[in-house]
Amino acid sequence: MARHGSAAAVLSAERRDWAETGAAEAEMAAAEAVGARHVFLGEAEYPPLLAELADPPPLLLMAGDAALAARPVVAMVGARNASAAGRALAFELALALGEAGWVVASGLARGIDAEAHRGALTTGTIGCVAGGVDIAYPPENAPLQERIAVGGLIISELPPGTEPQARHFPRRNRLIAGVARGLIVIEAAAGSGSLITARLAAEAGREVMAVPGHPKDPRSAGGNNLIRQGAVLVETAADVLAALSPFALMDQPAREPVRPRRAAAVRAAAVAESPVDAPQGGLLELLSVSGVAMDEVVRASGLPAADVQAALADLEIEGQVVRLAGGRVARLA
């Protein structure tokens, strides 16, 4: 526009006029420098489901294994300030769905997104980001994003080096909804970005699923409302697989279900490698009004068990939490 003065002049410019600007070459070099590449709508590597949208992005930046997007994909989104129980469920669902042959997509945000990616690291995960493929947001997810770029797939609509801004996130949400056959919502407050993703998924004809939550927990309002509006209620990987059965891998052999103890062991190893940053003041966010097992709170916080016990004792004295039977602890509504 600056060079030619109008959009019409730009579109009618000669090939040599475009080449002389050097902008395309510069952006391609920047992508190559961070291990990414440009993929245009219509090319073989372009995610096939994304191409079916009414207005698919004409150009993507991709880092990693593009073949993952051609496999059956299910997306998972939810609260950034997710409870420990919600985080554990996201991890376990992703692990089980991955072992059943599904690639798990999410948005690399804190909370539910990060746990979904961690659960599917070994079976295939797609991270859709709101900035450049080389920019981690939030910063603490940088190691996770780097692992996905190597063993999974990172997708963006924006050039390398682009810092995420508020206006970019709806585009990121469209990518999450567009690459997947279905979308699972875990812990989403009313008016959250996860509900925008759910709306985009529904508009694209995807299967929308939601995990129900306690009515007094604000993080349950969005998911519960989706269920009232017709979203499929899911609580286990079997529920998700049943909802997605029209898209199931008919030629894949049956796989052993993920056992809860094995899932817990895998998640503990993942948290140890890349712990969730949660200072003592953030312990309340990990709790729900329906109760969370103490060992799950410790794992999700990344803090020593003694520190968690001490912080919860203080919160109990302040009347903010209550101990439940079976070693569970809950925040008061």
* DSSP states of 67-121: GGGGS-EEEEEE-TT--HHHHHHHHHHHHHHHHTT-EEEE---TTHHHHHHHHTT
Evaluate whether residue 29 is within a structural domain: no
Residues 282 and 229 placed together within one structural domain of the fold: no
Q: Same domain for 148 and 237? A: yes
Question: Could you tell me if residue 205 is left (phi over 0), alpha (psi between -120 and 50 degrees) or otherwise beta?
Answer: left
Would you say residue 253 has pLDDT above 80? no
Are 223 and 289 in a shared domain? no
What's the confidence (pLDDT) of residue 112? 97
Band (pLDDT 50/70/90 cuts) for residue 295 is confident
Query: What is the number of residues in the chain?
Result: 333
State which residues form the domain around 304.
278-331
Q: Is 157 inside any structural domain?
A: yes
Is 301 part of any domain? yes
The stretch 200-209 carries a mean pLDDT of 96
Residue 224 lies in a domain: yes
Say if residue 185 is in the same domain as residue 289: no
3-state secondary structure of 124: coil
146 and 218 both lie in a single domain: yes
Torsion sign across C-alpha atoms 299, 302, 304, 305: negative
Say whether both 253 and 284 belong to one domain: no
Helix (H) or strand (E) holding 139: none
| Nearest of 151, 157, 165 to residue 120 by alpha carbon | 151
What is the C-alpha to C-alpha distance for residues 150 and 133, in angstroms, rounded to an integer? 12
CATH of the domain at 85: 3.40.50.450
Q: Are residues 235 and 303 in the same domain?
A: no
Confidence of residue 212 (pLDDT cuts 50, 70, 90): very high
Residue ending a domain, choose from 260, 287, 317: 260
Would you say the C-alpha torsion 214, 217, 223, 225 has a positive or negative sign?
A: positive
Q: Is residue 295 part of a domain?
A: yes
Q: Are the CB atoms for 102 and 245 separated by under 8 Å? A: no
Q: Is residue 311 part of a domain?
A: yes
* The pTM of the whole model exceeds 0.75: yes
Domain assignment present for 59 = no
Q: How far apart (Å, rounded) are the C-alpha atoms in residues 94 and 89?
A: 8
**Is the domain of 163 the same as that of 289?**
no
Q: Are 315 and 194 part of one and the same domain?
A: no
- Could you give the number of structural domains in the chain? 2
Integer CA distances (angstroms), 319 to 90, 202, 297, in order:
29, 41, 18
Same domain, 222 and 179: yes
pLDDT tens, 97-149?
999 999 999 999 999 999 999 999 999 999 999 999 999 999 999 999 999 99
Indicate the SS3 state at residue 54: coil
Q: How many CB atoms lie within 10 A of CB 18?
A: 13
- The four Cα atoms 261, 104, 222, 168 give a dihedral, to 10 degrees, of 140
Residue 250 has pLDDT above 50, yes or no: no
Same domain, 87 and 185: yes
In a domain, 139, yes or no: yes
Tell me how far apart the alpha carbons of residues 212 and 81 are, in angstroms, rounded to a whole number.
Answer: 17
